[in-house]
């Protein structure tokens, strides 16, 4: 079986190892939502990853919904992202953009408009950026759906033009595509609701549009099967997401990225059996568990989140067995350099 540090070919993506940097919202883009020099430094520090998946990035003003997160729909945004991709490539890294639409998890205080979703079903609890209850979204019209599918495609095309090596469609964690997939949030009675074949239609249309824009070999998608995340529920998560993975085979994608709690195996076994291409799994792994997953054939690569926040040289640390820096959760979203670009590298620790 492959080592965590062996190279991997995933479509057109040539990964120097199988230690993947998971998408991590860090709230450093500011009110302009524009990537900046600080973000370029942060990503370049982590270019030792086999693949960097960018933080979730809004494909449109409608899809935005997290204060100080980046966008990718204005010339200024794209100019900022070009700085990031150039810095990563100069450091020898590979990076894809994660395409994000928040759907019902947005808020009118951030967008000036009522959020939309497959159905008029609000998320529970309080919006983390505006500290108000989530709003009841309006149900998307067919024109809304058509326009949003086009927004995904245009953003994907812009990402490649900005120097990204590919894109990842965000279909996980309770955001718009996930809202269509699950029967807890999708109550439609038209061609986009009801039976799974209909609930998967939006995901498949988005994927087709992105593939048409940039190529299947530069397109990945992220899914998450667990119930309870950001008010998400499905009556049959194993069935829903195993079927989703099977449907995605038609595109011959570069990879499928599954956010699945370590050893929970809600849908992993089914997805591993049906999905034909590269499978990346994420959540809760250390070096030992990651290698066990590769040895067992459960995945082809492992994505790490918080460990990459605190350890810009994570692949080197895992390979050498070095101690890991511990992340400071109080700095995850607060802005500035602290807890962002100031975690020490192994070389700095050794010199001290």
Which two structure tokens, joined as six digits, stand for 331? 């700095």
* Cα within 13 Å of Cα(186), Cβ side: 29
What distance in Å separates the CA atoms of residue 239 and residue 49, rounded to the nearest whole number?
A: 32
3 state DSSP class of 223:
strand
What distance in Å separates the CA atoms of residue 286 and residue 269, rounded to the nearest whole number?
A: 20
DSSP code at position 272: H
To which H or E segment does residue 127 belong? none
DSSP code at position 60: S
- Find, among 318, 242, 304, 229, the residue nearest to 273 by Cα: 242
Please give the radius of gyration of the chain, using alpha carbons only, rounded to the nearest integer. 19
Phi–psi pair at 116, nearest 5 degrees: -125, 160
The catalytically annotated residue of 42, 73, 175, 343 is: 175
Annotated catalytic residue 175: yes
CB-based contacts of 213: which residues, under 8 Å, 6+ apart?
A: 153, 154, 156, 157
CB-based contacts of 290: which residues, under 8 Å, 6+ apart?
A: 4, 18, 19, 302, 304, 318
DSSP helix, strand, coil percent of the chain (3-state; round to 5)? 40, 15, 45
- Find, among 281, 282, 346, 337, the residue nearest to 315 by Cα: 346
- Find, among 217, 223, 221, 275, the residue nearest to 14 by Cα: 217
List, by residue number, the catalytic residues.
175
């Amino acid at each position: 079986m492959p080592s965590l540090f062996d190279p991997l070919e995933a479509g057109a993506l040539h990964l120097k190892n199988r230690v993947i940097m998971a998408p991590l919202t860090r709230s450093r883009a500011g009110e302009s939502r524009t990537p900046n020099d600080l973000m370029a430094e942060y990503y370049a520090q982590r270019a030792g990853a086999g693949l960097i998946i960018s933080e979730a990035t809004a494909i449109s003003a409608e899809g935005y919904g997290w204060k100080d997160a980046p966008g990718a729909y204005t010339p200024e945004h794209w100019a900022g992202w070009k700085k990031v991709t150039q810095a990563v490539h100069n450091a020898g890294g590979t990076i894809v953009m994660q395409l994000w639409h928040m759907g019902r998890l947005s808020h009118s205080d951030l967008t000036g408009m009522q959020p939309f979703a497959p159905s008029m079903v609000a998320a529970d609890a309080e919006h983390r950026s505006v500290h108000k209850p989530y709003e009841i979204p309006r149900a998307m019209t067919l024109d809304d759906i058509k326009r949003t599918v086009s927004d995904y495609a245009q953003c994907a095309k812009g990402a490649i033009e900005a120097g990204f090596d590919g894109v990842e469609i965000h279909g996980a964690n309770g955001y718009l595509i996930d809202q269509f997939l699950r029967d807890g949030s999708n109550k439609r009675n038209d061609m986009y609701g009801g039976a799974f074949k209909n609930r998967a239609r939006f995901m498949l249309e988005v994927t087709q549009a992105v593939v048409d824009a940039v190529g299947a070999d530069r397109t990945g998608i992220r899914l998450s099967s667990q119930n309870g995340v950001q008010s998400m529920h499905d009556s049959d998560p194993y069935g829903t997401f195993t079927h989703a993975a099977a449907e995605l085979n038609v595109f011959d994608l570069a990879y499928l990225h599954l956010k699945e709690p370590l050893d929970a195996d809600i849908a992993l076994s089914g997805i591993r059996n049906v999905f034909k291409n590269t499978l990346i799994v994420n959540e809760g792994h250390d070096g030992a568990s990651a290698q066990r997953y590769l040895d067992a054939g459960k995945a082809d690569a492992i994505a790490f989140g918080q460990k990459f926040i605190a350890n810009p040289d994570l692949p080197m640390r895992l390979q050498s067995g070095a101690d890991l820096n511990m992340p400071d959760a109080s700095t995850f979203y607060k802005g500035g350099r602290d807890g962002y670009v100031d975690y020490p590298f192994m070389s700095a620790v050794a010199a001290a």
